[in-house]
Amino acid sequence: MSSKIVFITGATSGIGAACAHTFASHGYNLILNARKAVALEELRLHLQTKYNIAVHTLCFDVRNRKAAKEAISSLPSEFASIDILINNAGLALGIDKEYEGNEEDYDTMIDTNITALLMLTRMIVPQMVQRGRGHIINIGSVAGDAAYPGGSVYCATKAAVKILSDGLRIDLVDTPLRVTNIKPGLVETNFSITRFGGDTTRASKVYEGIQPLRGEDIADVVYYAASAPAHVQIAEVLVLATNQANGSIIHRQ
């Protein structure tokens, strides 16, 4: 394969799926990760047929370090040289006060949003350094800029994504590799449905009275960063809906 290879975590919905479609439409071959095998296979077939690209799927929970290592080590030779790593998998759970929240939810957010991102970076970036090329794109959040009511743990995890991105950029400054942190604001995906435990009515209220971003809007920014000339490093991008000022100030019609 002559095309570049993009590895996307959390690829079957939301921003991850939008990134898969966007990069596929530009001829990139893909490695797609998610927890649901059926959804992964459906996405693989769809992308291969529509865009005439090669797609390899890795079905594992990013929180499972052993499974992640086994999956990455099992990559066929034609997919082993990853050019772009998009650390997209992430979630928020609940809106409880910090001292009243569910401890398991805390573990899940920290393990998914921080530890998994760090471990996948550790597994993949050394090979990028060895080859002298690569780009790490982390999907952070406006929530990482400041805490908001009911979101302190989630906000803390996304603040960690910023610091990990900044630190990695420092560590790679003497290499050709690039590091980008994309920080979306209000994006209408299954994010709020997950946060509210499947309550679609409650989740829909998050987007009432405002035109939110779409996963495709964020994918466009991700692709822009990835396709910039080699001497250009888009370090950080904050992307908000027009009527959103920051993580907590939103004007609704």
Task: Provide the annotated active-site residues.
Answer: 154, 158
User: Distance between CA atoms of 189 and 80, rounded to whole angstroms?
Assistant: 30
Candidates 136, 126, 141; CA nearest to 169 is 136
User: Distance between CA atoms of 95 and 83, rounded to whole angstroms?
Assistant: 37
Candidates 157, 96, 135; CA nearest to 226 is 135
User: Distance between CA atoms of 188 and 195, rounded to whole angstroms?
Assistant: 13
Candidates 33, 37, 41, 117; CA nearest to 79 is 33
User: Distance between CA atoms of 60 and 76, rounded to whole angstroms?
Assistant: 17
Q: Helices H, strands E: what count in the chain?
A: 9, 7
Candidates 142, 112, 94; CA nearest to 34 is 112
Q: Identify the bridge partners of residue 101 per DSSP, sorted by sequence position.
A: none
Distances (CA, A) of 89 to 22, 133, 172, 174, 192: 17, 23, 23, 28, 14
Q: Identify the bridge partners of residue 202 per DSSP, sorted by sequence position.
A: none
Three-state secondary-structure class, residue 7: strand
Q: Which residue has the tokens 């709020």?
A: 192
